[in-house]
Amino acid sequence: MPPAKKRTRRYDPAKVRSAVLAQFGHVREAVRTLTPEQLARPTRLGDWTVRELAVHLTTALGMLETRLAEPQPLKQELALLDWASATETKKAEVADHARELAASVDDLDALFEERATRTAELFVTTADERLLPTRFGAMTFADVLVTRTVELTVHTDDLNHALPGLAVPHDRQALATCTRLLADALAAKAPGGSVEVRIPPYAVVQCVAGPKHTRGTPPNVVETDPLTWVRLATGRTGWAEALDAAEVAASGERADLAAVLPVMS
């Protein structure tokens, strides 16, 4: 029997666009309050400083304008569900670019303002189906924007971790979109129906090969909250660590996701 085809979730393009702008706005308002000492603090991202992380967040949207200026690809090369795993191949390149750009930026607030304005303008003029060349292959504009909710949501959490008390808020729609994409990426990485992963109120997926559950209470269930899931899916939190902290509940002999996490980093 041939393997089942991956089912791609549908996202409302208008809601995704609003979520991207809203989350970037939350980050911008927080970053403009930071002191030089706070900007120089380390983050959990290797040797990145808060300032380098902040600059990287502007490139998460800046890449839209850069890629739109390039010739449009003839066909789509990367499916949305394959994006998470593809990012691993370019981690070093992304980090180097962030550091280089951070060294050249004098006015961080002006950079955020320019990026917010230009992104809003692009949203008015760019069709959802327009193809963009990316580091990982050509994708539709709508799909790239879904990936931007992941970049913004994950790195907002990185900022909050680096600066306790900053408490940059998470836009509900951005968090929901990020949670769903990373949950679907897990199901694509570990296909099957033996484990049900619940991330209320945003996502439920089945994964891991084995006996498939069809009715009644699933024998293998994992449940956690959206932000804990985002941290697990991106390697910010380890599986054992989350279990020990009671941040995730797992029941059933197959309800151990340590071998299939993270789905991106």
Round to whole Å and give the CA distance between 183 and 205: 7
Residue 179 pLDDT > 60 = yes
Determine how many CB atoms are found less than 10 A away from the CB of residue 90: 13
**β-strand partners of 207:** 195
Q: Is 68 helix (H, G, I), strand (E, B) or coil?
A: helix
The position carrying tokens 């799909």 is 143
What's the average model confidence in pLDDT over 30-55?
Answer: 95
Residue 96 pLDDT > 60 = yes
**13-34 confidence digits (pLDDT tens):** 999 999 999 999 999 999 999 9
Straight-line distance from the first to the last Cα atom of the chain, in angstroms, rounded to the nearest whole number: 33
pTM for the model stands at 0.93
pLDDT number for residue 46: 85
For residue 71, whether the previous peptide bond is cis, meaning omega lies within 30 degrees of 0, is no
Domain with CATH 3.30.1050.40 in the chain: 181-260
Residue 228 pLDDT > 70 = yes
Round to whole Å and give the CA distance between 96 and 125: 31
**190-210 confidence digits (pLDDT tens):** 999 999 999 999 999 999 988
Q: How confident is the model at residue 226 (pLDDT cuts 50, 70, 90)?
A: very high
Domain with CATH 1.20.120.450 in the chain: 13-170
Per-residue burial over 204-215, b if 16 or more Cβ lie within 10 Å, else e, is: ebbbbeeeebee
Give the homologous superfamily in CATH for domain 13-170.
dinb family like domain (1.20.120.450)
- The C-alpha torsion from 63 through 66 and 70 to 74, rounded to 10°, is 20
pLDDT number for residue 3: 42
Contacts of 217 (CB under 8 A, 6+ apart): none
| CA distances, 133 to each of 50, 101, 140, 154 (Å) | 29, 21, 9, 23
Determine how many CB atoms are found less than 10 A away from the CB of residue 78: 18
Pick the CATH number of 181-260 from 3.90.180.10, 3.40.190.10, 3.30.1050.40, 3.40.50.300: 3.30.1050.40
